Structure 1
Amino acid sequence: MKRASPVGDRVGGREGCFEAQQPAVYKFAEPRREATVSAEDALIADMTCRAESFEKPIWEGEFFPNISSIKYEGPSSRNPLAYRWYNAEEVILGKKMKDWLRFSVAFWHSFRGDGGDPFGSPTRVWPWEDGSDSLEMAKIRMRANFEFIKKLGVEYWCFHDRDIAPEGASLQESNQNLDAIIALAKKLQEGTNIRPLWGTAQLFKHPRYMHGAATSPDVKVYAYAAAQVKKAMEVTHELGGENYVFWGGREGYQSLLNTDLKKELDHMGTFFKAAAAYKKKIGFQGTLLLEPKPQEPTKHQYDWDAATSISFLQKYDLLGEYKLNIECNHATLAGHSCFHELEVARINGVLGNIDANTGDSQTGWDTDQFLTNVEEATLVMLTVIKNGGLAPGGFNFDAKLRRESIDVEDLFIAHILGMDSLARGLINAAKLYTDGTLSDLVSNRYASFDSTVGADIESGMVDFDTLEKYAFGWGEPTITSGKQGELSKKNVESPIAGTCRNDFAFVYLNSSPFSLGKRCRNFESDRNAGLVV
């Protein structure tokens, strides 16, 4: 599939930066000055072409004219722009697949990500981009976002305030810019079911937050952060958002030598109490979510993992006000599996949302890759099923294209792969959940607690003297197998037999295959044979 040119035919038919094959679809209005650049050169140096040609670009027509709405074609499809497993209306365990998964597009990765990294310049410029942070460019990005969401067939998106609207010269001007973009987003939402899964304030990028926001040693920064969150909560509510997220990228320390640990944690507790109070004041019915991450950019973040975050919420009497947004890549950075973090959140009643991504086992930082491992997806979905779903939370794709993926269709293929992987995980997890083998194995491990003394232990009505008497009478306990091997073979490998990743996707995403090539089974025959529900 050919990469689209940066612009189409100019108004008035003048030549410049355009591709002749698409004269009526891609348009910038109000050209400012001419540039003599061939169509071939435009494909290579499109940012330069745009910068020389326009000061205030206004995009007209479709953003993705060569890509139709993505449809479900079934497991046997070889079309990279079709769903193989995600069938939105398919009912699983009494609930539609789309209601189990509640997929969301991350605005920042999809429409602000440029492929740049600490070692290299940006590699990716979407055709409609001019590289500026102007209000007009922000409106173009928002329109592109909604077209993308509609063509994917999902109903949710997530945003940081400063990703969708430019920072102004003052807080008041920033709020005005945000209001202008929110007005456009509201208009684009009309007549659709599209709305934010969650919104948040970007409290980590600007230099003012270099020492933290809710944990800043400067009271002026603390107040500024509160005002920014106040506005972000208001606009999330205005758009019908269903959750609001707090990710404390700078809420931590680089050195304990210059840090008053107790003071910073107390300040953060007060900040979150004020946010919960303001939620009630404005009538926002959504869930407040705290997103754990152990480090990066700070050396140590205060919401290190799920258990640490729950402890924080307990200490400051916030457990009834907040739940957790678990990100899989953050889990692995903390030394846990995503399954572990989800289970910790679930058993404590605070599993609110999942940022669906994964990391690279050979790197020690947050790589934000699309989750494509079906075995991992199966375990993730097993927790979601046991939780009864995630609503009003869902799955936000906090995942970005690889630096080397620069074509418009890559954005679709990446999301399709992530959605298909989690859909197949749901199918597999439903089988694990309903066939009883897994639950029977677990319950059998703890069968001894079905006794009288076991019931006393679980009700808290037991003491050491009583337990000592039982120990003397029973003698040496007989050890039993944990059945991990049986668990793996019967309850994980069998349901996902024939697992193959979408080989089209590996070309675009630079992922390493889970089980690709000659070992792959035929998807349709697996389903027909009952290996996959």
Structure 2
Amino acid sequence: MTDFFDGIPAICHEGPESDNEFAFRHYNPDEMVMGRRMEDHLRFAAAWWHSFAWPGGDPFGGQTLDRPWFGDTMDHARIKADAAFEMFAILGVPFFCFHDADIRPEGRSFAESLRNFEEIVDYIGRKMETQRTRLLWGTANLFSHRRFMAGAATNPDPDVFAWSAATVKACMDATHRLGGQNYVLWGGREGYETLLNTDLGRERRQAGRFLQMVVDHKHRIGFQGTILIEPKPQEPSKHQYDYDVATVYGFLKDFGLEHEVKVNIEQGHAILAGHSFEHEIALAASLGIFGSIDMNRNDYQSGWDTDQFPDSVPEMARAYYEILRAGGFATGGTNFDAKIRRQSLDPADLILAHVGAMDVCARALKAAAALFRDGALERARAERYAGWETPAAKAMLDTGTLESISASVLSRGIDPQPRSGRQERLENLWNRFA
């Protein structure tokens, strides 16, 4: 136990009229939404790295946060784990996520780092025996250390590839041992800065082979969870090989992995790729690769990935609407890949950031569910494409040729007239709910 969160009560639902800042106004885990508990819809997870490993730096300045677990010993790692599970209990989050480097100190060799990692994984496992919080997913940090400055799987040095493969094996084994429901690969530096020194085709093949090895290992150890790739377009690399959902899907198809791997979509990364969050979710669902989400937001006046906690109900409602349309989460969930601001120094700031974000997501889910139950938006969508449900239209797609279609146009004297897309009407409809 630590005294870091002393004086902060367990957060309970008190309803929208409550003026208690240490209470949920909208997130009620047991509230039924479309026949399912709210907790089971949202599947919240806290991120070990931003909540407990981030020192408060930004591209222009260093550490601002002072935490009792900051240090490079196993004692520090155990204190960090104690504080993490205390926060999980205060918030009542059902899940957490971690990188290997978040939970263990770096050793002087791979073997020492592995011993440190396995020891703290055992420590976390013992804590999980007495608490309800489970592991949503684990992953490996293959981007922070200088050895990864030219990538991990895509590195020109085969020794770095080997180090990375051994690290992922250890993290997958640990995720399996802790009962994790997914394993995520974030290619933080799987990209390039300049084509002047890059063999793009070679690096892409290396990344594909690496992912095939990951999938093979999943089956070898009997891991029943989902393998996820997290798309990101840039930062830190100028161009990432996992740019967005569409790029990842093409990559998976190229290496025969489209039925083995899904995507973990981050709101901030979607924006950096020039998309909306809901676009990426809808596209992934349509391609059959939707898995999980990292919930955060960017500062739209800044040019980098600021990883702020979400604060816009309408924006998040559009994302959850697409998740509901996709049937909801299976093994995935809502991971708060978000950090407090570097001026937010107090333990209470960390708790209240999660409280506010969980309430925003709950309000967004309820708004999305209300519109989905109403059915007006889906009816309007179906009406727009109704012509494609006729036998003639279906036959045109199934067996038509340019010659047969051209003959039909001439014989029927087709002269199609534009029809309104009714965008403003649908936006007004949306705003009635969100």
Please indicate the TM-score interval, normalised by the length of the shorter structure: over 0.9
The yes-or-no answer on 1:68 pairing with 2:9 is yes
Q: Structure 2: where are the runs of 5+ without partners?
A: none
Q: 2: CA distance between counterparts of 1:425 and 1:109?
A: 23
Cross-structure match for 1:155 = 94
1:354 correspondence with 2:305: no
Residue 433 of structure 2 aligns to a residue in which SS?
coil
State the aligned residue count.
433
What is the deviation of 1:391? 2.2
- Shift of the alpha carbon at 1:61? 4.4
Decide whether the 8 Å contact of 2:2 with 2:79 is kept in 1: no
The yes-or-no answer on 1:383 pairing with 2:311 is no
Q: Does 1:83 align with 2:83?
A: no
Mapped pair 1:329 → 2:268: yes
Task: After TM superposition, give the deviation of residue 116 of structure 1 in Å.
Answer: 1.4
TM-score where L is the length of structure 1: 0.80
Q: Answer yes or no: is 1:404 the counterpart of 2:337.
A: no
Structure having the higher helix fraction is 2
Whether 1:284 aligns to 2:253 is no
2-side partners of 1:376 and 1:466: how far apart? 45
Cα-to-partner distance string for 1:369-420 (whole Å, 9 max, x where unaligned): 1111111111111111112111211010000101121111111111111111
Residue 401 of structure 2 is matched in structure 1 by 463
SS of residue paired to 1:198: strand
SS of 1:104's equivalent?
A: strand
Task: Judge which range, 111-120 or 240-249, deviates more.
Answer: 111-120
SS of the residue corresponding to residue 127 of structure 2 reads helix
Shift of 1:191: 3.0
In the TM superposition, what whole-angstrom CA distance separates every residue of 1:212-237 from its partner, at most 9, and x where no partner exists?
A: 11000111111110000000101111
Show CA shifts across 1:103-137 (max 9, x none). Answer: 000000000122112222322213x34x3121110
> Residue 102 of structure 2 aligns to which amino acid in structure 1?
D
Alignment partner of 1:224 out of 150, 163, 177: 163
Q: Distance in 2 between matches of 1:455 and 1:471?
A: 16
Runs of 5+ unmatched residues, structure 1: 1-59, 497-533
TM-score (norm 2): 0.98
SS, match of residue 188 in structure 2: coil
What is the distance in 2 between the residues matched to 1:173 and 1:362? 43
**Residue in structure 2 matched with residue 274 of structure 1 by the alignment:** 213
Counterpart of 2:262, as a letter, is K
Map of 1:201 onto structure 2: 140
Q: Give the counterpart of 1:103 among 44, 58, 71.
A: 44
Distance 1:361 1:155 in 2: 30
> In structure 2, how many angstroms separate the alpha carbons of the residues matched to 1:171 and 1:216?
18
Q: Which has the larger radius of gyration?
A: 1
Residue number in structure 2 paired with 1:526 = none
What are the residue-to-residue correspondences of 1:50-449 with 2, within 5 Å? 61-126=2-67, 128-129=68-69, 131-449=70-388
Residue 462 (structure 1) shift:
1.3
* Aligned-partner SS, 2:235: coil
- Partners of 2:142 and 2:200 lie apart in 1 by 20
In 2, Cα distance between equivalents of 1:261 and 1:305: 17
Q: Which secondary structure state, in structure 2, belongs to the residue aligned with residue 267 of structure 1? A: helix
How far apart in 1 are the matches of 2:433 and 2:129?
Answer: 41
Task: Say if 1:474 and 1:417 are closer, same or farther in 2 by CA, change over 3 A.
Answer: farther
Could you tell me which amino acid in structure 2 is paired with residue 183 of structure 1?
A: D
Write out per-residue CA displacement over residues 250-279 of structure 1, whole angstroms, 9 at most, x where no aligned residue.
101011111111111111111000110011
SS in 1 for 2:183: strand
What is the SS of the residue equivalent to 1:326? strand
Contact 2:235 2:304 survives alignment (8 Å): yes
Alpha-carbon distance in structure 2 between the residues aligned to 1:182 and 1:87: 31
Distance 1:448 1:61, change over 3 A: closer
Instruction: For residue 367 of structure 1, report the CA deviation from its aligned partner.
Output: 0.7
**Structure 1 residue 443 displacement after superposition:** 0.8
The structure whose RCO (Cα within 8 Å, separation 6+) is larger is 2
Distance 1:103 1:474, change over 3 A: farther
Question: Within 2, Cα distance between the matches of 1:474 and 1:243?
Answer: 55
Cα distance, 1:192 vs. partner?
2.7
Moved more, 461-470 or 272-281: 461-470
